[in-house]
Amino acid sequence: MKNVQQHLFELQDLKYREFQKPLLPNLDESEMIGVRVPFLRKYAKEFDKKEQEIFLSELPHKYHEEYLLHVILLSKEKDFSKLIALTEKVLPYINNWSVCDTFSPKIFRKYTDELLPYIDRWLISDKEFTVRFAIKMLMDNYLGENFLPVYPEKVSSVKNDAYYVKMMIAWYFATALAKQYEAVIPFIENHRLDKWTHNKTIQKAVESFRVTEEHKKYLKSLQV
Residues 94-130 pLDDT 10s: 999 999 999 999 999 999 999 999 999 999 999 999 9
Cis amide leading into 60 (omega within 30):
yes
**Which sequence spans correspond to the domains of the chain?**
1-107, 111-224
HSE of 109 in the Cβ direction (CA atoms, 13 Å)? 11
pLDDT per position as a tens digit, 200-213: 999 999 999 999 99
Crossing angle between the packed helical segments 64-74 and 80-90, to the nearest 10 degrees = 160
Architecture per CATH, domain 111-224, reads as Alpha Horseshoe (1.25)
Cα(43)–Cα(158) distance, integer angstroms: 37
What's the pLDDT tens digit per position in 19-78?
Answer: 999 999 989 999 999 999 999 999 999 999 999 999 999 999 999 999 999 999 999 999
Distance of CA 103 to the CA centre of its chain: 6
The C-alpha atoms of residue 67 and residue 123 are separated, in whole angstroms, by: 21
